[in-house]
Structures are given as structure tokens and as C-alpha cells.
Amino acid sequence: MDDRGANIDIVFRNGLKDYEVLPPQDVWDSIQPVVRKKQRPLALLRAAAMFAVLVSLSFLAYRFSREIPAGLEGPVMAMNPESFAPVNDIVYESQPIYDLSQNNDDLRSAVAGNRDLTPVATDNLNAEVHFPETSAVSNQLHGNDRNTDYLALEYKSRSYLDISSNDALDIPDNNSRKIPNRWSISALVSPTYQSRFSSGDNEAVSQVMNTEQAEMSYTGGISLAYKVNKRFSIQSGIYYSTIGKELTGIKAYSGFEDHFYTKGSPNFTVLTSSGNVLTSNNDIFLTDGLTSDRIQTLYNIDVFDPVKASLSYIDNSIHQNFSFLELPVVIRYKVVDRAFDFNLIGGVSSNLLVDNTVFATGENGRTPVGNTDGMNIITFSSSLGMGMEYNLSNNLSLNLEPTFRYYLNPFNDIPGMRIHPYSLGVFSGISWKF
């Protein structure tokens, strides 16, 4: 009896050495919230910090633009014959009449040297005076320290200066207005942070959303704007944008093509918040390390073990990627019109889906997995932002445009769930006005 008691540990050890028992499925539901790291609060804090920085920069730019004095432009005094009335009330008994219609050289020399004009006898006591449309002559005739004898004086009747001859002073026309630049073309690019609003009672999709992480995306393109008036302009163009998500916890292996035997249907279906991912690469094997309901397949871990089958491990997650061509219609309102402009921007866009891929990333680069089923080909989004523009010259300017975009319809019609993505991006680029 003593020998049996001493060897009882060896008996149990040898009997249970190769024994395996799978845990119940509900055990994973209790472990998952403890193991999984939630990224949503950190992402929201980053977005809030970025928004606060952008608002602060916009406010400082607005204050700075208010302090910049406008350029000093001398007033252009346009004078024409109709704006001058005859001198009827002043009578000079001994002042001569200055008639410069016969000798314009006297006027040039008098204006240049600020001296009195030589009196010239004339029989035309009612000669007309024509002032050229320039402020230079006005300054010479009406300046505080100029000789007032340049004005025509009346000697018992009306009289005016007459400098209407063809060889009068050649004074440039300062009243010509510069034609404003109505059109502008811009090249813009932006890194974009993506997230989403959701509503509905689909519990499975709600749980799946906790395992997905938004990836940094990019948007870029060319826009053409027309300036309606000083404040309003209309803008359109074409942009190329990407949206990406990482499905964490899904392990991907390659080398499965030699082991499967079904034909005509996807080997794996993965439930996501954007729709079901259907595998089209028969060489890929997927297994879920977080939940048991995300992947639907005949080849679960109980039937096929990728490690024992010596499949090649690729990655611990797979990635969804969507690409769109955007056609926006945007209205811009200029709040500040200085060397540093500030605009309010709002509009809508139609988005055409041009790429729908799912892939795994490994040491050898991207490995295609499949695509997302049921995606809407056309979606619509609204945008709201603010534009800061620094004018390098009359035609060239630098642009910075923080923009918030909200998708009006979801990417995929999932029963019991409506998910509306939104994005926050900062567009930067250069504009040419013509």
C-alpha cells in the first residue's frame, strides 16, 4: 500500500499527459474585455487636441490679419470739365487773364518750378478750362504751398484755363482699374483620421466594432474655383481618397491551398462593421484569436490546425482598404481679406468606389485576402471647414484647410445597423490665380 501511495502521482501524470480539453465558448467572452486594449478614448483625445490646436491657430491668424494695416493708396482725384463751375462772384479789376492755350511750355515750366505764369493778352474772355484727369495737376494747383495764381481769374467776365490742345501735358491715367483674378486652380493633399457614428441593435456588429482600428488615410487632388464676388466663390474638382481599417486578432497563414477540398465558395467569411469580408485567395487560412463569432468557415481550429499543418504565419491582423474618386461642390466665404486670408468652407461630395481590397501584411509585403461584400458604389458626404490662405503674390498663394467630413449614407446596408463614417483632415497645398 505504501508503494502504491508513493507512485500515485506518477500514475496520474502518465494518464493525463496527452489529455486535451477545449474550454467552453463563453469563457472567451469573459476573458476578451480584460485582454483587449481599447484604443477609442486615446483616438478621441488626439482628435480633440488637433481640433483645439487648429481653432487656436485660426484665431491667432485672424487677430494677426486685423492688425496688418491696409496699403496706403493715394486718392485719385479725377477732374473733368463738368465738375468745375465758372467763377462768377469774384471780380478783379487789375488781374490779367492767363491764357495757356497758345503756349503749353509755360504751363509745364510753371508747374515744375512753382512760379507765376506770364500774363498773355487774349480777346477770348470766355475760354473754357479743361482739367486733365489726374491728381498730380490738382496737387500742383491746390497745394498749400503752391501759387494760387494758376487758377483762372475773371476780369469783368467769365474765364477759364484752356489746356485742351493736342500737345497738352502727357499725364498717365491713374483711374484705370486692374481686372481682378476670377479663377484659381489648387493642388491639395491631406492626411485623414477616420472614425464612425453607429446606430442600431445589431449586437454582433457592435462587438465587432470594438476589435477594429481606423488607420491613417490620405486624400489629394486638384480643385478649380470661380470668384463670384469679393466674398463668395464656388469650388469643384476631383480628389482621390482612401479609407483603411485594421481587423485586429485575426491571424493569417499562407499555404492552405494544398489542404482544402471545397470548390465554388469562399473558404472564410469575416464579419466587419463595413460588411462581410469574403476570401478569394484559396492559399490563405484565417483564424480568430479574440472572438468565436467573427469568422464563419468549415475549417475551424477544431477541424484544422495551421501550426500542425506547418502553414506559414503572415500577420496577426488583416486590413480593409477602400478608395474613392470624389467630386465636390464647395462654397467658400471670405471672412478676412488681407495678405493672410481666412475663409469658411462648406459643401457636399459624391464619392465613387474604385477599389475594394482586403490584405494581410507580412515580411514579403502585402498578401491579398479578398474583398468586402455589399459595398455601395456611390456614397455622399458633407464637409465643413475653414481655409487659411497666405498670398505670396497677386497670383500665387499657400493654403491650409482643416476640414471635417461626414458621410450621409453608410458604406454598406447591414440589417439592424447603420454606420456613418466621418473624417478629420488638414489639407495643405498651393493655388494659382488667373
Between 287 and 203, where is the model more confident?
287
Between 302 and 268, where is the model more confident?
268
Q: If phi over 0 gives left and psi between -120 and 50 gives alpha, with beta otherwise, what is residue 203?
A: alpha
Please give the pLDDT value at position 302.
82
Residue 383 pLDDT greater than 70, yes or no: yes
Between 412 and 35, where is the model more confident?
412
DSSP characters for 97-111? P---SS-HHHHHHHH
Lowest mean pLDDT among 32-41, 130-139, 314-323: 130-139
Let me know: does 419 contact 407? Beta carbons within 8 Å.
no
Domain residues of the chain, as ranges? 40-68+179-433, 77-174
Q: What's the rounded Cα separation, in Å, for the pair 293 and 213?
A: 18
Q: Tell me what the pLDDT averaged over the chain comes to.
A: 75
SS3 track for 27-93: HHHHHHHHHCCCCHHHHHHHHHHHHHHHHHHHHHHHHHHHHCCCCCCCCCCCCCHHHCCCCCCCCCC
User: Averaged over 121-143, what is the pLDDT?
Assistant: 45
Please give the pLDDT value at position 197.
78
Q: Which of 186, 215, 430, 193 is nearest to 317 (CA)?
A: 215
Between 2 and 246, where is the model more confident?
246
Residue 310 pLDDT greater than 50, yes or no: yes
User: Averaged over 194-208, what is the pLDDT?
Assistant: 81
User: Averaged over 191-195, what is the pLDDT?
Assistant: 87
Give the cell for residue 247. Answer: 481587423
User: Averaged over 99-128, what is the pLDDT?
Assistant: 48
CA atoms within 13 A on the CB side of 314: 26
Q: What's the rounded Cα separation, in Å, for the pair 306 and 287?
A: 9
Q: What's the rounded Cα separation, in Å, for the pair 356 and 351?
A: 13
Residue 306, Cβ density class (10 Å: 0-12 exposed, 13-18 middle, ≥19 buried):
buried
Q: Any residues with CB less than 8 A from the CB of 128 and at least 6 apart, and which?
A: 81, 160, 162, 164
25 alpha-carbon distance from chain centroid: 48
Cα angle value 216/219/221 (rounded, 5°): 165
Confidence of residue 59 (pLDDT cuts 50, 70, 90): low
Confidence of residue 430 (pLDDT cuts 50, 70, 90): very high
Q: What's the rounded Cα separation, in Å, for the pair 263 and 18?
A: 35
Residue 325 pLDDT greater than 80, yes or no: yes
Place of cell 481666412: 342
- Ranges of H-type helices in 156-270: 203-209
Place of cell 491551398: 257
Give the whole-number percent of the chain exceeding pLDDT 70. Answer: 60
Confidence of residue 67 (pLDDT cuts 50, 70, 90): low
Q: Which of 346, 341, 340, 344 is nearest to 328 (CA)?
A: 346
Please give the pLDDT value at position 261.
66
Please give the pLDDT value at position 242.
93
pTM: 0.61
Give the class (CATH, top level) of 40-68+179-433: mainly beta
Confidence of residue 338 (pLDDT cuts 50, 70, 90): confident
Please give the pLDDT value at position 65.
60
Rounded-to-5 percentages of helix, strand, coil across the chain: 20, 40, 40
Q: What's the rounded Cα separation, in Å, for the pair 371 and 77?
A: 72
Please give the pLDDT value at position 333.
95
Q: Which of 202, 265, 221 is nearest to 427 (CA)?
A: 221
Q: What's the rounded Cα separation, in Å, for the pair 307 and 313?
A: 9
User: Averaged over 217-228, what is the pLDDT?
Assistant: 94
Residue 322 pLDDT greater than 80, yes or no: yes
Q: Any residues with CB less than 8 A from the CB of 390 and at least 6 apart, and which?
A: 339, 340, 341, 397, 398
CA atoms within 13 A on the CB side of 12: 6
Lowest mean pLDDT among 27-31, 242-246, 330-334: 27-31
Give the cell for residue 286. Answer: 484565417
Most confident by average pLDDT, 76-80, 119-123, 155-159, 210-214: 210-214
Please give the pLDDT value at position 10.
74
